[in-house]
Amino acid sequence: MRVKIHHEGTNIIFMLLFILLMVNSTAYLILSYKVISYVFIAISVVLFLVVVNFFRSPRRHFKGDASDAAVSSVDGKVVALEEFYEDEYLHANVIQLSVFMNVFNVHANWVPVQGVVKYVKHHSGRFLSAWLPKASTENERSTVVIHTPTGHDILVRQIAGAVARRIVTYVEPGDSVGVEEHMGFIKFGSRVDIYLPLDTEIMVKLGDITTGGVTQIARLKQH
């Protein structure tokens, strides 16, 4: 599995590297007690590696049949799996499947289903913990709807959290998309919800760990 640094993190990483080099150089020159400067260096190295890890962007390949598959958009843990009335676009009872990302997960977001993008909308909102159920409707979020080859409209929602302050969505209405493509990125957060038809075959359970672009979370029935 090949890994590169996501372009969303390039400027942040270079800026952080410059600041850390300046801080540590200054500390080394002015501090007479060198042990303290070595502590600064150690902390800086750890901080830099954490940030680099956060912005890693592995290249992934889905090995199943993408025509009827729903694939996890993100790395994380399944924290919600329940019936839910979606009233922004679908206006129907659906299955809500939510995957929560911690700060150590890859934060690139993959397209969850093959199809054509019908709808994209960003919503301003709060920055509650993404773990909370009400984060789905109250937090800063971006909604994407994709029409699949099985005839379904699948809604996926990128949700900011208490730390995440920026959601980036790359797809636009009219785009033909596949499950190995990046849909967007959430900086320093948080959670992605996908809303599936009630007759969908769910292939994960609460607490399962998913890998974005790889783990099949559901199989859609032909509409």
Indicate which residues carry an active-site annotation: 190
d(CA 209, CA 221): 24
Question: Which residues does residue 187 pair with via DSSP β-bridges, in sequence order?
Answer: 166
Contact 127, 161 (CB under 8 A): yes
Q: Strand runs (DSSP E) across the chain, as ranges? A: 3-5, 56-58, 69-71, 76-86, 92-100, 108-110, 115-123, 141-147, 153-159, 166-169, 176-177, 182-187, 191-196, 201-202, 209-210, 216-219
Instruction: Give CA 30 to chain center in angstroms.
Output: 42
Sheet hosting strand 182-187, strand order edge to edge = 108-110, 182-187, 166-169
Tokens coding 11:
């400027």
What's the DSSP call for residue 28? H
Spatial contact of 84 and 195, defined as CB atoms under 8 Å apart: yes
Other beta carbons less than 10 A from residue 47's beta carbon: 12
Chain-centroid distance, C-alpha 33: 43
